[in-house]
């Protein structure tokens, strides 16, 4: 298959899930129904329930998500900027008319790359090197890209449509479409979304339905040191895979030819994995795009509009990756030429290409980095949304490296060839955008920077100051195992500061502090104050601090926003 040859990813999804095998007819299939998620009532400990009540989310009715409500959150491709109604692919008078056969001639870099979208024809030859998917675009060369955009719905945004229209060269003669390209509904691609959980917590704020991406309101996060499983943010890059029978599950460990002398490729059952020494750690997982929404207030960025809830802290139970790799023969000072450990998930697109990411071999083999293959989350089997039956946890690193539904580990001389390693989750300076980006010029994100955020009070709310004080709550965390030394808060935009009290339910070892610190501050406030401009900033054990503004860290993907967090609220007496 062309896509696999482009990606060089030998995804073994088909080994367990033959329904993911794809063919040319499936590629051009039409996609059907929007998934609706049942909303259910859940009981929580008093601390969490109090935060839910404060956030105003416990009163949410248990009913299916309406299509009208979800449509505004479906795409989420770019945050900020264009807000018009531009839709790509509409008929335009005065443009040349091209037939399917004429477009199909332009199906390679040598012949130029043309694509069809709805009633438009586009020459994207010069854009291929700039797209995060790179040569993946060649899969749709000379054909309609509509089916692919129905999988990767992140493309449905005004900015992306405007970008596509800038490459418009003509109109498409829809009557020329061959029968085999019309996409009969054979159900294969329809079923891509059939494995989504039918019940998700009503408090989750949906940023995108397909694939599903949602976060809890930040006000919920301070209710418990360990984030409840169904309130943990969900970051899916692809459809949720079918629930695998744990008795049939196998983890394959493979290697490139010519490296890792003495390493024996192996397949391990779930029971065999659980036979290794089991350990538990409390660790944060944070999406690289957490707080992207506030970065977009300065300048438009590309990506899902995460508000500040794309982070969670859980108790993860599993086995050390280094123990498993030692078992298969990885050893020595240079690890036999092995430089990277690639992880492949069971989640795959309609073309059989799976999610993949990698970490350096030194990270994988360091017992003090606590990289785990986990099968429990907060004392329960990992929920399907979070990687059942087995996922990788790389504590201290960007969440994209903690691959869910892991089914294959590849020992390699190179990083994962996936777009999520090579062309995404990379930081670029503010003068770089989609038009001039050189993806090879930046390293893939690994450890995350120091971070803090205000969870309560809620932005735009009115707080009672009749007591003469206001109480602030939030979270703070730093990547790489660094602890939080201090959180400073201000209620007047940073003119005066107070030190918050840190709460941590566990004692963790120096340089292995993977969990967050919840913080609280009670600050005196003047009775005549009408508005509070609340700010927080953290410092970690390496004296790293958060930058004051997003201007200095802005990047076109909106990643790693750790600028001072700011919340404005109104004040009143005796509410």
Extents of the domains making up the chain: 97-172, 205-423, 450-572
Q: What is the pLDDT of residue 188?
A: 56
Say yes or no: do domains 97-172 and 450-572 share a fold. Answer: no
Class of domain 205-423: alpha beta
pLDDT band at 183 (very low <50, low <70, confident <90, very high): low
Check whether 124 has a pLDDT greater than 50. Answer: yes
Q: What is the pLDDT of residue 51?
A: 38
Q: What is the pLDDT of residue 133?
A: 66
131 catalytic per annotation:
yes
- Say if residue 130 is exposed, middle or buried (CB neighbours under 10 Å; 0-12, 13-18, 19+): middle
The model's pTM: 0.80
Q: What is the pLDDT of residue 203?
A: 95
Task: Using alpha carbons, list the distances in angstroms from residue 138 to 22, 167, 456, 523.
Answer: 17, 16, 47, 58
Task: Name the more confident of 545 and 142.
Answer: 545
Tokens 């301070």 -> residue:
222
> What integer best gives the mean pLDDT of the chain?
84
543 catalytic per annotation:
no
* 349-369: average pLDDT: 93
pLDDT band at 146 (very low <50, low <70, confident <90, very high): confident
Condensed to tens digits (0 to 9), the pLDDT of residues 505-537 reads: 778 999 999 999 999 999 999 877 789 999 999
388 catalytic per annotation:
no
226 catalytic per annotation:
no
Q: What is the DSSP letter of 447?
A: B
pLDDT band at 382 (very low <50, low <70, confident <90, very high): very high
* 150-162: average pLDDT: 75
Residue 562 phi, psi (nearest 5) = -125, 30
User: Which of 192-201, 248-257, 423-432 bottoms out in mean pLDDT, i.e. has the lowest?
Assistant: 192-201
Percentage of the chain with pLDDT > 90?
Answer: 70
Catalytic choice (12, 200, 235, 482): 235
Quick one: CA torsion of 131, 135, 137, 140, rounded to 10 degrees?
Answer: 170
As a whole number of angstroms, the distance between CA 90 and CA 113 comes to 20
Strand partners of residue 330: none
CATH of domain 97-172: 3.10.120.10
Q: What is the pLDDT of residue 47?
A: 41
Q: What is the DSSP letter of 242?
A: P
Q: What is the pLDDT of residue 153?
A: 66
Task: Name the more confident of 183 and 36.
Answer: 183
Pairing of strands 97-98, 168-172: parallel
As a whole number of angstroms, the distance between CA 557 and CA 559 comes to 6
Catalytic choice (287, 322, 354, 455): 287
pLDDT band at 151 (very low <50, low <70, confident <90, very high): low
As a whole number of angstroms, the distance between CA 430 and CA 553 comes to 7
Check whether 29 has a pLDDT greater than 80. Answer: no
Q: What is the pLDDT of residue 525?
A: 94
Catalytic choice (98, 335, 425, 475): 425
Check whether 65 has a pLDDT greater than 80. Answer: no
Condensed to tens digits (0 to 9), the pLDDT of residues 371-380 reads: 999 999 999 9
Half-sphere exposure of 273 (CA within 13 A, CB side): 30
Catalytic choice (131, 250, 327, 486): 131
pLDDT band at 135 (very low <50, low <70, confident <90, very high): low
- List the one residue out of 490, 511, 508, 509 whose CA is nearest residue 499: 490
* 217-232: average pLDDT: 96
Task: Name the more confident of 99 and 2.
Answer: 99
Cβ within 8 Å of residue 556, ≥6 positions away: 301, 302, 428, 432, 433, 434, 437
pLDDT band at 76 (very low <50, low <70, confident <90, very high): very low
Check whether 9 has a pLDDT greater than 50. Answer: no
Condensed to tens digits (0 to 9), the pLDDT of residues 291-328 reads: 999 999 999 999 999 999 999 999 999 999 999 999 99
Cβ within 8 Å of residue 440, ≥6 positions away: none
Class of domain 450-572: mainly beta
* 427-432: average pLDDT: 96
Q: What is the pLDDT of residue 48?
A: 40
Residue 392 phi, psi (nearest 5) = -95, 140
pLDDT band at 355 (very low <50, low <70, confident <90, very high): very high
Q: What is the pLDDT of residue 189?
A: 57
Percentage of the chain with pLDDT > 70?
Answer: 82
155 catalytic per annotation:
yes
Catalytic choice (12, 39, 155, 512): 155
Q: What is the pLDDT of residue 309?
A: 98
Q: What is the pLDDT of residue 191?
A: 74
């Amino acid at each position: 298959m062309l896509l696999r040859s482009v990606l060089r990813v030998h995804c073994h999804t088909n080994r367990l899930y033959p329904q993911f095998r794809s063919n040319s007819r499936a590629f051009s299939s039409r996609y059907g129904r929007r998934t609706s998620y049942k909303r259910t009532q859940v009981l929580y400990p008093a601390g969490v329930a109090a935060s839910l009540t404060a956030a105003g989310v416990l009163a949410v009715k248990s009913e299916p998500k309406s299509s009208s409500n979800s449509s505004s959150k479906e795409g989420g491709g770019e945050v900020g900027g264009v807000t018009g109604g531009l839709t790509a692919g509409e008929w335009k008078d005065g443009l040349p008319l091209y037939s399917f056969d004429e477009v199909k001639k332009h199906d390679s870099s040598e012949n130029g790359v043309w694509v069809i979208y709805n009633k438009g024809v586009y020459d994207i030859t010069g854009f291929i090197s700039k797209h995060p998917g790179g040569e993946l675009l060649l899969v749709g060369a000379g054909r309609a890209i509509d089916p692919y955009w129905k999988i990767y719905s992140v493309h449905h945004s005004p900015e992306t449509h405007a970008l596509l229209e800038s490459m418009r060269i003509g109109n498409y003669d829809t009557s020329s479409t061959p029968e085999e390209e019309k996409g009969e509904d054979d159900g294969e691609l329809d079923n891509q979304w059939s494995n989504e959980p039918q019940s998700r917590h009503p408090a989750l704020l949906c940023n995108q339905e397909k694939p599903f991406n949602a976060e809890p309101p930040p006000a919920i996060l301070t209710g418990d040191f360990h984030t409840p499983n169904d309130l943990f943010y969900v970051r899916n890059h692809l459809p949720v895979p079918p629930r695998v029978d744990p008795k049939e599950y196998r983890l394959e460990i493979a290697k490139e030819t010519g490296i890792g002398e003495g390493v024996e490729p192996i397949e391990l059952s779930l029971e065999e994995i659980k036979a290794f020494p089991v350990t538990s750690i409390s660790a944060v997982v944070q999406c690289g795009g957490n707080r992207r929404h506030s970065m977009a207030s300065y300048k438009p960025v590309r990506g899902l509009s995460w508000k500040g809830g794309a982070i969670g802290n859980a108790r993860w139970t599993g086995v050390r990756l280094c123990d498993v790799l030692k078992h298969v023969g990885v050893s020595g000072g240079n690890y036999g030429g092995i430089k990277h450990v690639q992880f492949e998930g069971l989640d795959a697109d309609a073309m059989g290409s799976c999610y993949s990411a990698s970490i350096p071999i030194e990270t994988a083999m360091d017992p003090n980095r606590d990289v785990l293959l986990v099968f429990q989350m907060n004392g329960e089997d990992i929920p399907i949304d979070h990687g059942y039956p087995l996922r990788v946890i790389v504590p201290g690193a960007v969440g994209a490296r903690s691959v869910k539904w892991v089914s294959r580990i590849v020992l390699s001389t190179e990083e994962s060839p996936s777009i999520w390693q090579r062309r995404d989750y990379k930081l670029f300076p503010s003068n770089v955008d989609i038009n001039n980006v050189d993806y090879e010029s930046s390293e893939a994100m690994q450890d995350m920077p120091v971070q803090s955020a205000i969870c309560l009070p809620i932005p735009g709310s009115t707080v009672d100051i009749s007591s003469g004080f206001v109480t602030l709550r939030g979270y703070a965390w730093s990547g790489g195992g660094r602890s939080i030394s201090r959180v400073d808060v201000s209620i007047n935009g940073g003119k005066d500061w107070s030190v918050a009290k840190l709460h941590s339910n566990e004692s963790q070892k120096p340089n292995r502090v993977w969990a967050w610190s919840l913080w609280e501050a009670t600050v005196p406030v003047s009775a005549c104050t009408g508005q509070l401009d609340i700010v927080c900033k953290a410092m970690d054990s390496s004296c790293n601090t958060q930058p004051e503004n997003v201007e200095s860290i802005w990047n076109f993907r909106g990643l790693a926003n750790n600028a001072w967090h700011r919340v404005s609220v109104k004040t009143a007496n005796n509410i």
